[in-house]
Amino acid sequence: MTATETDDTVAEFADGIRGAVLQAGDDGYDEARTVWNGMIDEYPALIVRCAGTADVMSAVAFAKEQDYLISVKGGGHNIAGRAVEDDALMIDLSPMKSVRVDPSAKTARVEPGVVLNELDHETQAFGLATPVGYNSTTGIAGLTLGGGWGWLSRKHGLTVDNLISADVVTADAELVHASEDENEDLFWGLRGGSGNFGIVTSFEFQLHEVGPTVLSGPIVHPFDDAKTVLEGYRKFAADAPNDATVWCVIRHAPPLPFIPEEWHGRKVVILATFYAGDMEEGEEALQPIRDVGDPIADAVGPHPYTGWQQAFDGLAPAGNRHYWKSHNFDEMTDGMIETFIEYGKTIPTPETEIAIPHLGGAMNEKPVDATAYPHRNFEFTMVLHTQWENPKQDEECIAWTREIHEAMAPYATGGVYANFVPEEDGDEQAAYGENYERLVEVKNEWDQENLFQLNHNVEPSK
């Protein structure tokens, strides 16, 4: 096909799209191809900015006809940057922003371009929420398809545990509905199997009564007291009710107003606390963790749920260079504490943090095979949020992250959250665990040609 014929083909396709079709040089192209991780710099052949499900169906059909590789962008927050690929056709779902809440049924219908603060804004108008992630600029689509967990997960489970149904554009460019009662195998695979089986154009979530005010806040300790704080954190977590969630973070103190100015930029240990239930009960439940050590600052108190969900967004801004590694652990040992402290001393940049969330609770109450997400056997996770601005630091920062990741491996379960895998390829077995073979069967049924492969890919066997 000549260049003129190609242009004509694209133009004809674009005429049938309600959204927009962009190529290099068009207004909006560079903005659309840019994702959260500043290390990703890819140039798609075409970007289809979808206005609705019909556009998604047309884009899938066109990509197949013209033999384009397909990438899919929701919020563009994926650490590996799989939303964008050189010479591919990007199906950009970010214009699809509808959230429809049914307060009586306590459900929400959510389109795939929605980010978490937009979902929270709509559900909190009714004092409702569903478990989502801890950075509110994350897209709901990628978060959900990888599993999804955050501050509400110890009480209400994973995001996928609260998924009621989904509308999905398949590899045949057809729209199907998936739920416990319809296309059950597809529904199972969507709940943790990443974007392997189709493009979700609508998610239906169960909502729960939350807020609008919750007890939450950070407690900041000197890094020199890290051993005392980590041991106190371990003791608190052992008896914590499912309403209580505390995450421990080792990092340089950011310039936040509640932290004394003389501590800004110095290494600290932060205990981020959250209570999902009654405020008075929360005061009693969180008091033991507030009694640990001699904190620099304690900002625990009533806060808007939406505010708490957004509290840490500024610590991981779009455009920074990001490289993450993660492990799951069923307990926190003395050896782990020693290793956290050892590597806390060598954190490579002021923006980098070693995050150690306490999870478990309702997340672990379902069987491993209840959903494609398999990690129902751990209490703590480690997320190495390594970030920096200067490309000259790439080698140093990635090397530090891989070194601590390797040092923590002897203590880990061997599983890893798919949404935290930074490389384009690898770790699929760790991400999907013992559910991998069943995921292959679902892939064989719904995408045997592996049209949807720019994800943590499950390869079909036929």
Identity of the residue numbered 375: H
Give the tokens for residue 225. 């007291």
Question: Which residues share a beta bridge with 89?
Answer: 46, 70
Q: Is the pTM of this model over 0.85?
A: yes
Among 94, 95, 124, 96, smallest CA distance to 108 is for 124
- CATH no. for 213-420: 3.40.462.20
Give the integer Cα–Cα distance in Å for 374 and 364: 10
Backbone angles phi, psi at 45, to 5 degrees: -70, -40
DSSP one-letter string for 67-104: T--EEEESSS--TT-TT--TTSEEEE-TT---EEEETT
Q: In what order do the strands lie in the sheet with 199-206?
A: 99-102, 107-110, 199-206, 163-169, 175-179
**Which string of b and e fits 198-215 if b means at least 16 CB within 10 Å?**
bbbbbbbbbbbebbbebb
- CATH no. for 99-209+433-446: 3.30.465.10
Give the integer Cα–Cα distance in Å for 374 and 434: 7
DSSP code for 358: B
- The ranges of the chain annotated as CATH 3.40.462.20 are 213-420
Chain centroid to Cα 253, Å, comes to 24
pLDDT of residue 391: 96
- The ranges of the chain annotated as CATH 3.30.43.10 are 3-92
In degrees, rounded to 5, the angle at the alpha carbon of residue 155 between the alpha carbons of residues 146 and 281 is 150
- The ranges of the chain annotated as CATH 3.30.465.10 are 99-209+433-446
Query: Looking at domain 3-92, does it have CATH number 3.30.43.10?
Result: yes
3-state secondary structure of 135: coil
Q: What is the pLDDT along the chain (462 residues), one digit of tens a residue?
A: 454 557 889 999 999 999 999 999 999 999 999 999 999 999 999 999 999 999 999 999 999 999 999 999 999 999 999 999 999 999 999 999 999 999 999 999 999 999 999 999 999 999 999 999 999 999 999 999 999 999 999 999 999 999 999 999 999 999 999 999 999 999 999 999 999 999 999 999 999 999 999 999 999 999 999 999 999 999 999 999 999 999 999 999 999 999 999 999 999 999 999 999 999 999 999 999 999 999 999 999 999 999 999 999 989 999 999 999 999 999 999 999 999 999 999 999 999 999 999 999 999 999 999 999 999 999 999 999 999 999 999 999 999 999 999 999 999 999 899 998 887 666 777 899 999 999 999 999 999 999 999 999 999 996
